[in-house]
């Protein structure tokens, strides 16, 4: 029995050649799977197939359109890309029709455009949410003046679907210029073709270096200045400072270098900002007067739609913002928006706007009016506009 067990043949190992072939086949299989995985991942980042022009109309929400040279049955990644392209095509078609459509209501550019503005705004918002557009340096800047109504103007302008603006004041050309244009551009919102990028920093108007710096960025930049009666503006400026620093001296004591002689202290910023003609001379060294629009801060309150019409014309925009967008808030004494940008609710400026001014000695007010009068007259002459402050 022992001899019989010992004589049983042992299991022979696989020949070496067969083992090598098995390893080669396994490696080939793994390599093929890896290549297929990489290709599939790469395909998801490629643009989707071309959609035939006019294959799906804007109203045909369910139609997918035929693919050029392919079947309507698509893998999920291709279907998503196709839907994205169809949506962008519809947005462009809708926008083109709005631009070609004649304005209603007696031939006015403003008439009949309110409804189209909402549709265009929705289309632009959808496209931007899809990651379209790019960050660009501003083509228009609200450069001044402080306490003139710049925040109100920017909020009103942002209702327009072709205006995209920075919310906070960048202060690039006066405080952050050393950071460079790349930093400045990165602050800007994304815009689509045909949209205008804007920002507002009121202190630019009184910054000596600002005109040369903006001109260096782009000589074609459009500039907007919101101006207001310099006496009222100075009191408003003081009121804002008083709300932050209740222990500051009185307005009367800050106004004069010498109260007895009646000498005005022009070094006080609240007074100095209102000498508009002096600051404008610096800007005219770098920009023609036709490239600067002067908006009346007073008319921005009494007739916001009228002033916004001038601004839209200046920026080359269709008159979409009309009197239908505003209502007057009697409590604040300011016009408010019926619907703000990206909202369906009424919107008024914050609590910091429309503060009650302190009572100022009327003799001081009259002395200031006498001081500003020659500067105002020169400013009227330079701009070709009489703002009616005197």
Rounded CA separation 385/379 (Å): 8
Residues 6+ apart with CB under 8 A from 127: 88, 91, 133, 192
What's the pLDDT score for residue 53? 36
Q: Partners of 142 in the beta sheet? A: 200, 224
Placement of tokens 């290709």 in the chain = 39
**Exposure of 140 by Cβ count < 10 A (0-12 exposed, 13-18 middle, 19+ buried)?**
buried
Average pLDDT, the chain: 80
The tokens describing 261, both together, are 């002689």
Residues 6+ apart with CB under 8 A from 102: none
Q: 3-state DSSP helix/strand/coil percent for the chain, to nearest 5?
A: 45, 10, 40
Closest to 99 measured CA to CA, from 56, 162, 50:
162
- For 293, the 3-state DSSP assignment is strand
What's the pLDDT score for residue 94? 57
pLDDT at 348 over 80: yes
Q: Partners of 196 in the beta sheet? A: 163
**For range 190-215, the mean pLDDT:** 97
pLDDT at 145 over 60: yes
**Exposure of 94 by Cβ count < 10 A (0-12 exposed, 13-18 middle, 19+ buried)?**
middle
Q: How far is CA 263 from CA 235, 259, 349, in A?
A: 18, 7, 37
More confident residue, 68 or 169: 169
Rounded CA separation 189/137 (Å): 10
Q: What is the pTM of this model?
A: 0.68
Percent of the chain past pLDDT 70, that is, above it, reads 68
- Terminal C-alpha separation, the chain: 133
What is the Cα gyration radius of the chain? 33
More confident residue, 99 or 295: 295
Within 13 Å of residue 208, how many CA atoms lie on the same side as its CB?
A: 0
pLDDT at 111 over 50: no
Instruction: Kindly indicate the confidence band of residue 131, based on its pLDDT and cuts at 50, 70 and 90.
Output: low
Looking at the chain, how many residues does it have?
390
What confidence tens digit (pLDDT) does each residue in 223-282 have? 999 999 999 999 999 999 999 999 999 999 999 998 888 899 999 999 999 999 999 999
What confidence tens digit (pLDDT) does each residue in 277-306 have? 999 999 999 999 999 999 999 999 999 999
């Amino acid at each position: 029995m022992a001899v019989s067990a010992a004589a049983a043949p042992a299991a022979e190992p696989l020949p070496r050649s067969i083992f090598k072939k098995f390893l080669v086949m396994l490696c080939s299989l793994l390599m093929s799977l890896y290549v297929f995985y990489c290709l599939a991942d790469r395909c998801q980042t490629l643009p989707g197939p071309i959609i035939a022009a006019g294959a799906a109309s804007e109203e045909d929400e369910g139609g997918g359109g035929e693919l050029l040279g392919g079947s309507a049955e698509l893998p999920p990644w291709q279907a998503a890309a196709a839907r994205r392209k169809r949506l962008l095509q519809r947005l462009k078609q809708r926008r083109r029709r709005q631009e070609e459509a004649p304005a209603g209501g007696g031939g006015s550019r403003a008439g009949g455009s309110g409804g189209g503005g909402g549709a265009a705004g929705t289309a632009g918002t959808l496209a931007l949410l899809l990651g379209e557009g790019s960050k660009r340096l501003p083509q228009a800047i609200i450069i001044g003046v402080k306490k003139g109504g710049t925040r109100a103007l920017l909020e009103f302008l942002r209702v327009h679907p072709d205006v995209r603006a920075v919310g906070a004041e960048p202060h690039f050309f006066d405080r952050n210029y050393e950071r460079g244009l790349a930093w400045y551009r990165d602050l800007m919102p994304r815009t689509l073709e045909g949209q205008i990028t804007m920002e507002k920093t009121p202190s630019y108007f009184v910054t000596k270096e600002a005109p040369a710096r903006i001109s260096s960025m782009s000589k074609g930049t459009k500039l907007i200045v919101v101006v207001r009666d310099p006496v009222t503006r100075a009191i408003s400026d003081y009121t804002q400072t008083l709300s932050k620093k209740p222990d500051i001296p009185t307005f009367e004591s800050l106004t004069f270098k010498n109260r007895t002689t009646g000498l005005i202290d022009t070094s006080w910023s609240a007074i100095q900002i209102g000498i508009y003609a002096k600051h404008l001379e610096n800007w005219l060294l770098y920009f023609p007067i036709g490239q600067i629009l002067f908006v009346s801060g007073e008319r921005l309150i009494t007739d916001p739609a009228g002033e916004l019409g001038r601004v839209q014309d200046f920026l080359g925009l269709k008159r979409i913002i009309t009197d239908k967008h505003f209502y007057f808030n009697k409590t604040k004494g300011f016009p408010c928006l019926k619907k703000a940008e990206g909202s369906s609710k009424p919107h008024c400026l914050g609590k910091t706007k429309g503060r009650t001014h302190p009572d100022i000695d009327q003799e001081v007010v009259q002395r200031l009016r006498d001081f500003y009068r020659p500067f105002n007259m020169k400013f009227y002459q330079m701009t070709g506009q009489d703002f009616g402050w005197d």
